[in-house]
Amino acid sequence: DGGITQSPKYLFRKEGQNVTLSCEQNLNHDAMYWYRQDPGQGLRLIYYSQIVNDFQKGDIAEGYSVSREKKESFPLTVTSAQKNPTAFYLCASSTRGGGGFFGPGTRLTVL
Amino acid sequence: AQSVAQPEDQVNVAEGNPLTVKCTYSVSGNPYLFWYVQYPNRGLQFLLKYITGDNLVKGSYGFEAEFNKSQTSFHLKKPSALVSDSALYFCAVTASNTGKLIFGQGTTLQVKP
């Protein structure tokens, strides 16, 4: 089955730790995206990538990093520089000009 | 700069009545417009999109949306609402030349029996 997966579903982080959220797609989509969702604030774009080995900052990239070494994978690292990382993180992929297909999300909580 | 506005935080309708969820956008270049629905603690589900062609776009679950270039709007509509339509709805836009997909703040739709 084609789709997009995110893991883990729930993630707990201690203050000062870096954590990496996984996003994998087998849809052969060129573009991939990471969004952060907070209550009442909709989806905010963190990073996006339109091609392997290239990515651009979104509106709230500070404290996050990504890589795009393979077409299928777009992992997001939440670094200790992100002061308020508790949120729901959504990954999406799309063809150019197509709508995004979303993964089920990862809920990150800082302890 | 790209932006999307959903002016209503919440829309309340009675079951069986028509519903409209509003969306306006701003992009330079040709817009690609999308509607998504989100149920609690889930990812977003694609409803419909406008790329080009007929201004009235039909999507999943009986939803449709009308693209209005002069008003830069892409309102989501359904002729007869169901209680099961109650969810959070997002409008999104990307410009044909950027690939950057931007979302509105979301509108909660509450359909009451």
Q: Give pLDDT tens digits for A41-87.
A: 788 999 999 999 999 999 999 999 999 999 999 999 999 888 899 99
- The answer to whether B41 contacts chain A (CB < 8 Å) is yes
Q: What totals of helices (H) and strands (E) does chain A contain, helices first?
A: 0, 11
Location of structure tokens 């939803």: B63
Q: Tens digits of per-residue pLDDT, B61-97?
A: 999 999 999 999 999 999 999 999 999 999 999 876 6
**Distance in angstroms (rounded) separating the CA atoms of residues A7 and A11:** 9
B26-64, pLDDT tens digit by residue? 988 888 999 999 988 788 899 999 988 899 999 999 999
Q: What is the pLDDT of residue B76?
A: 98
**According to the model, what pLDDT value does residue A2 have?**
62
Which chain B residues have a beta carbon less than 8 Å from that of A96? 99
Tokens of A96: 């150019």
A58 chain-B contacts, CB cut-off 8 A: 100
Q: Is B1's pLDDT higher than 80?
A: no
Contacts of A43 in chain B (CB under 8 A): 44, 90, 103, 106
Query: Going by C-beta distance under 8 Å and a sequence separation of 6 or more, which residues neighbour residue B23?
Result: B4, B5, B6, B33, B35, B73, B74, B75, B76, B91, B104
- Which residue among A6, A40, A94 places its CB closest to the CB of B101? A94
